Structure 1
Amino acid sequence: MNEHLKGLLITTLGVLFVVPDSLYVRLIDAEPMVTAFWRGMTAGGIILLGLLAVQGTRGFGQVLRSGWPGILYMVLIGYTAPGFVLAVTHTSVANVVFIFASMPIFSAIFARVFLGEPISRRVVMTMLAVMAGLAIIAYGSGENAVAHWSGDLFALSVCIAYSGALTAVRGLKDISMIPAIPLAYIGAALVLWPFIEPGPPVAEQWHLFLGHGAFIAVATCFLTLGPRYISSPEVSLLILLESVLAPLLVWAIVGEDPGRWAMIGGAVVIGALLVSNAVALRRRRVV
């Protein structure tokens, strides 16, 4: 198996493992922050045990010595755990994943502002189309019983936080940031702990909490390893699968109708990114 095919398979598996994330949030009967606590604690714990078994503690020292970029990365990634649960709790899954699909746009903006990287005409046109799609999604939140603008804002904040985290570590190419992920997840869970009672829901739903964390742990590892072997446009195209499959899975299992406007806005966002990344991929192959 060549490295390109290996990258495609690993990244695709990562996307498939992250698809049930929002479904678990819907199935678990607990306060949002309790779900967020166990999501971070179980996923972070599984990744931590895997890292200790494979490489010991040496990777953690590099992360802790990475300075402010590493600290900012961990803080922002840590926020995404409770932020995601709050987003799914307060709005439709379709709205959340379609808003998440716009992440490459925010990454491009941050790269321009903080790293001085130019934004191509293709990306500018994609930004305008994505913004139109997000506006349609926001408009539809007022006409859907499940969707709400507060959850849309949480989803947008998670999207921005994750984009900021990726931008923060762009200069740390020689350091593997995988050990930072369990530190971020477990750290966020520990911050939540004094304000919640995480124990009571576990007795009857331990299998859901454990399954939720396991899926996130596997997805995180695969989505960190896979993109090493394939191009950014290919990664972006594969990640769009999650935006399509997650709402369909939740619709099939719990009957959550995404709503007309979410589907229209999501189609605009995904269509714009699909065309943009296909053009970028074609140009890369020509070169």
Structure 2
Amino acid sequence: MNEHLKGLIITTLGVLFVVPDSLFVRLIQAEPMVTAFWRGLSSGGLILIGLLLFQKGKGFGPVLRAGWPAVIYIALIGFTTAGFVLAIENTSVANVVFIFATMPIFAAIFERVFLKQSVSLRMTITMIFVIFGMGIIAYGSTESEIASWKGDLWALSVSAAYAAALTAVRSLKDISMIPAIPIAYIGAAFILAFFTSPMEAAQTQWGLILAHGTFIAIATCFLTLGPRYISTAEVSLLILLESVLAPLLVWAVLNENPGTWALAGGTVVIGALIVSNLVVMLRPRSTKRVKN
């Protein structure tokens, strides 16, 4: 198996394992911060165990010596643990995953502001369409009983945090950031423990909690390893699968209809990103190096 095919398979598996994330949040009957606590502790704990078994903990040293970029990355990823749950609990799953698809737009903005990288005409046009799609989703939130602008804002903040975290570690390409994930997740759970009473939920729903953590742990590892072997455009296209499959899964299991406005806005957002990434993938290799 060549490395490109390996990257496609690993990344696709990562996306498929992350698809049920929002469904688990819906199924677990607990306060949002309790769900966030167990989401962080279970997935972070499983990743930590895996690192200790397979790497003997050797990967933590480089991360801990990486300075402020690693600190910023850990803090932002930790924030997303609670932010994701709050988003799911306060608006429709469709709105959340469609808004998460805007992550490349935030990444381009942060790279322009902090890394002084230029924004291509392709990305500028993509941003215009994405903002238009976001406007449709926001309007739909005022017309839907299951959607709310509060949850949309949480989803937007999580998307921005992920993009900022990835921007922060752009200079750490030679360091595997997988060991930073359990630090972020378990650290977030430790903070949330001061504001929650999580044990009651664990006693009655430990199976769901463990399954949730397992899916997140596997997805996190695969989505960290897979992109090493394929292009950013290919990764972006594969990750968009979640935006399509997650609302359909929740719709099928819990009968949560995304609504016409969410579907319309999501189609604009995802369509714009698909076209943008296909332009990059189909561009001649020599040109790709010059313009991206």
Q: TM-score, normalised by structure 1?
A: 0.99
Identity %: 68
Instruction: Map residues 23-42 of structure 1 onto 2, 5 A cutoff.
Output: 23-42=23-42
Q: What is the aligned partner in structure 1 of residue 186 from structure 2?
A: 186
Q: Which amino acid aligns with 1:97?
A: V
SS in 2 for 1:176: coil
Q: What is the aligned partner in structure 2 of residue 151 from structure 1?
A: 151
Q: Which amino acid aligns with 1:184?
A: A
Q: What is the aligned partner in structure 2 of residue 248 from structure 1?
A: 248
Q: What is the aligned partner in structure 2 of residue 22 from structure 1?
A: 22
Q: Which amino acid aligns with 2:47?
A: I
Instruction: Provide, for residues 185-210 of structure 1, a one-character-per-residue CA deviation record: whole Å limited to 9, x for no partner.
Output: 00000000011100001112100000
- Correspondence 1:137 to 2:155: no
In structure 1, how many angstroms separate the alpha carbons of the residues matched to 2:130 and 2:2? 34
Q: Which amino acid aligns with 2:2?
A: N
In structure 2, how many angstroms separate the alpha carbons of the residues matched to 1:226 and 1:58? 21
Backbone CA RMSD of aligned residues: 0.8
- Correspondence 1:218 to 2:218: yes
- Correspondence 1:68 to 2:73: no
In structure 1, how many angstroms separate the alpha carbons of the residues matched to 2:211 and 2:133? 33
In structure 2, how many angstroms separate the alpha carbons of the residues matched to 1:222 and 1:58? 19
In structure 1, how many angstroms separate the alpha carbons of the residues matched to 2:57 and 2:21? 29
Q: Which amino acid aligns with 2:31?
A: E
Q: Which amino acid aligns with 1:206?
A: W
Instruction: Map residues 37-116 of structure 1 onto 2, 5 A cutoff.
Output: 37-116=37-116
Displaced runs of 4+ in structure 1, greater than 4 A? 284-287
Q: Which amino acid aligns with 1:37?
A: F
Q: What is the aligned partner in structure 2 of residue 195 from structure 1?
A: 195
Instruction: Provide, for residues 154-194 of structure 1, a one-character-per-residue CA deviation record: whole Å limited to 9, x for no partner.
Output: 00000000000000000011211110000000000000001
Q: What is the aligned partner in structure 1 of residue 118 from structure 2?
A: 118
SS in 2 for 1:206: helix
Of 31-40 and 200-209, more deviation after overlay is shown by 200-209
- Correspondence 1:177 to 2:167: no
Structure 2: give runs of 5+ residues left out of the alignment.
288-292
In structure 1, how many angstroms separate the alpha carbons of the residues matched to 2:202 and 2:38? 9
In structure 2, how many angstroms separate the alpha carbons of the residues matched to 1:271 and 1:72? 31
Q: Which amino acid aligns with 2:149?
A: W
Instruction: Provide, for residues 208-260 of structure 1, a one-character-per-residue CA deviation record: whole Å limited to 9, x for no partner.
Output: 00000000000000000000000000000000000000000000000001011
Q: Which amino acid aligns with 2:225?
A: L
Structure 1 residue 22, shift from structure 2 partner: 0.2
Structure 1 residue 57, shift from structure 2 partner: 2.1
Structure 1 residue 286, shift from structure 2 partner: 6.7
Q: What is the aligned partner in structure 1 of residue 290 from structure 2?
A: none
In structure 2, how many angstroms separate the alpha carbons of the residues matched to 1:240 and 1:96? 13
SS in 2 for 1:117: coil
In structure 1, how many angstroms separate the alpha carbons of the residues matched to 2:253 and 2:285? 40
In structure 2, how many angstroms separate the alpha carbons of the residues matched to 1:114 and 1:263? 33
Structure 1: give runs of 5+ residues left out of the alignment.
none
Instruction: Provide, for residues 51-97 of structure 1, a one-character-per-residue CA deviation record: whole Å limited to 9, x for no partner.
Output: 01111122111111111110000000000010000000000000000
SS in 2 for 1:224: helix
SS in 1 for 2:200: coil
- Correspondence 1:272 to 2:272: yes
In structure 2, how many angstroms separate the alpha carbons of the residues matched to 1:105 and 1:182? 27
In structure 2, how many angstroms separate the alpha carbons of the residues matched to 1:62 and 1:122? 36
Q: Which amino acid aligns with 2:207?
A: H
In structure 2, how many angstroms separate the alpha carbons of the residues matched to 1:172 and 1:119? 22
In structure 1, how many angstroms separate the alpha carbons of the residues matched to 2:286 and 2:179? 37
SS in 1 for 2:142: coil
Q: TM-score, normalised by structure 2?
A: 0.97
SS in 2 for 1:145: coil
Q: What is the aligned partner in structure 2 of residue 10 from structure 1?
A: 10
In structure 2, how many angstroms separate the alpha carbons of the residues matched to 1:259 and 1:285? 41
Of 277-286 and 33-42, more deviation after overlay is shown by 277-286
In structure 2, how many angstroms separate the alpha carbons of the residues matched to 1:269 and 1:215? 26
